[in-house]
Structure 1
Amino acid sequence: MRSLPLTICATAAVAAISVSAPAASAVPYDDGTLRVTPSTIAPGGKVALRSDACGKGEKGLGTSDAFVSSVRFTPADGKGLSAEARVRSDAEAGRYDVTLRCEGRDGGGGRASAVLTVVHHARPTPVAPVRAGGGGTAVLAEQGGDSDGPGLPHAVAGLALAAAAAATVAFRGARRRRPAAD
């Protein structure tokens, strides 16, 4: 087996995955940077927003067509602002601009922007499901049974077994009552 082509393909695959899946989207704009984590999310998910665009003691307002509503940025530990936003559950797949407008004490303020990508994940469906347990019987229940329950042959067999059990109990009881012969 050739190991060199396999090694090259594996290295290329790892490189492609690591380059195409950034952990956060940060686009410099005017005064600072806005980070959206994760930068790719499904509708209904939450994203963390962090920026260093605003000055000390300032607050900010973040907006995006992907968000349920505007979000208020508050001072984060140390330096910068942070906020959390929920993506609309009916957001279409695509790229959305996220903007931050700083609201400073002096009336001015910085701005920052980033990009958020909304993706729709298809629910996985089994290719060849195992028909076992409740999952296997669900298909049969959906199709409906051919009969409404045990029929005449089952009833006759049940009565025959019950009669045999009663005869066995009676025979054993009669054997115990006989006196022993000397």
Structure 2
Amino acid sequence: MGSLKVTLCAGAAVLAALTPTAHAADGGTVSVTPASPAPGADVALKISGCSGTTGSAASDAFVADAKLVGTAGTLAGETRVRSSLEPGSYDVKITCGSVTVKGAIKVVANESGSPSTQPPASPVAPVHAGGGGTAHLAAVDARAAGPGTVHAVVGLLLAGVAATAVALRSVRRSRRPGRTD
């Protein structure tokens, strides 16, 4: 086995050993990183033992429900702990497919004992921003439609006007008095 493979395998083993894991009564395995977050902290959730490819994790401790996605069997997602929480244990309900896992998350006090000094929560879902109501128009690709009949008629009219202007100018030049050819 090459040294790169050995290094990657050893790194994966160390990571697996250090990742906090909670075993649920329903047979699923849930891990939360960090294991004991402070108010305002971002948390990553991972669950194995799910039958579907999507799920959600809900808790009063979270700013918003975590949307979980992945392959059949293992789902992952992120959310943020409310910055106004008091330290303590909060219930978490994870639903994926026909599996429901109930557990708890332990929120600890910040080291300083004061409210979180992290920046305010950022959105965890898509945000409709900008566009001024024209975003639905951007979905239509103008190249797909191509020039139509109206464009062809306008082009022919402009070409006709340009040809007429050139012909008239040529006629005016040839009729100038005092011109010798």
Question: TM-score scaled by structure 2?
Answer: 0.47
Larger Rg: 1
Which structure exhibits the higher relative contact order, with contacts defined as CA atoms closer than 8 Å and separated by 6 or more residues?
1
